[in-house]
Structure 1
Amino acid sequence: MGQVTVRIGGYTHPVSCEDGQEGHLIALAAEVDRRVGSIRAMGGQFGESRLLLLAALLLADELHDLRVELSHARAGQPGGAATDPKLAERLARIAEKIEGIADGLERS
């Protein structure tokens, strides 16, 4: 079992992962940290748990939008990526990555 220490919003967190997934986990944490940074840029004073909650909600919202877009694409509806199968595949991979981030947040 691998273990890395990630830094999100100025706080460090030790996190376990499968061996060989350390780099991926670090990249996921960097994505969460970017969301935390964007929340801080909006102003206001938030504690660590509030920042992580808001970052998780932003990621969940993006995941929802991607799932809707992917659903439209698979159904061949206008407004989706149906006209470009490669785009639909890319959206599916992005959605999977975001699900991984959400899973990681739930386990922490």
Structure 2
Amino acid sequence: MGQVTVRVGGYSHPVSCEDGQEAHLIALAAEVDRRVASVKTMGGSYGEPRLLLLAALLLADEVHDLKVEVAQARAGVLPPLPATDPRLAERLVRVAERIEGIAADLGKG
């Protein structure tokens, strides 16, 4: 059985895992730590248990949203596309025109 010590929210936690899963566990803890840091930026003064609870709720919310997306994808329901920036579309048209011009010049030679 493997064992690693992870840091989340400034606290060290020894955690056991299956052999070979140490790196995966460290990556998971880093994700939790990012959520704890996100909670800290929202303001307020929380102890470790509350920080971990709020981080867990953020992760649970994201998992819920992903489950809904997977269920919709399996059902063939496509999510609405985000609004596009008209400036981006214009830039893409200009880039495509430049590429076509370069291709035409290469074809002449």
1:57 lines up with 2:74 in the alignment: no
Amino acid at match of 1:59: L
| Separation in structure 1 between the aligned mates of residue 65 and residue 17 of structure 2, nearest angstrom | 27
| Separation in structure 2 between the aligned mates of residue 6 and residue 78 of structure 1, nearest angstrom | 39
* C-alpha RMSD of the superposition: 0.9
Report the equivalent of 2:32.
32
Misfit runs of 4+, over 3 Å: none
Return the TM-score normalized by structure 1.
Answer: 0.72
Amino acid at match of 2:38: S
Write the mapping of 1:71-82 to structure 2, written as runs, cut at 5 A: 71-79=71-79
Q: 1:79 deviation in Å?
A: 1.3
Higher relative contact order (CA 8 A, sep 6+): 1
Give 5+ residue unaligned stretches, structure 2: 81-109
Task: Give the percent of matched residue pairs that are identical in Structure 1 and Structure 2.
Answer: 76
Give 5+ residue unaligned stretches, structure 1: 81-108
1:12 aligned counterpart, secondary structure:
strand
Return the TM-score normalized by structure 2.
Answer: 0.72
| Separation in structure 2 between the aligned mates of residue 63 and residue 78 of structure 1, nearest angstrom | 18
Which deviations, in whole Å up to 9, do the C-alpha atoms of 1:15-56 show, x marking residues without a partner?
A: 000000000000000000000000001110000000000000
Decide which structure has the larger Cα Rg and report it.
2
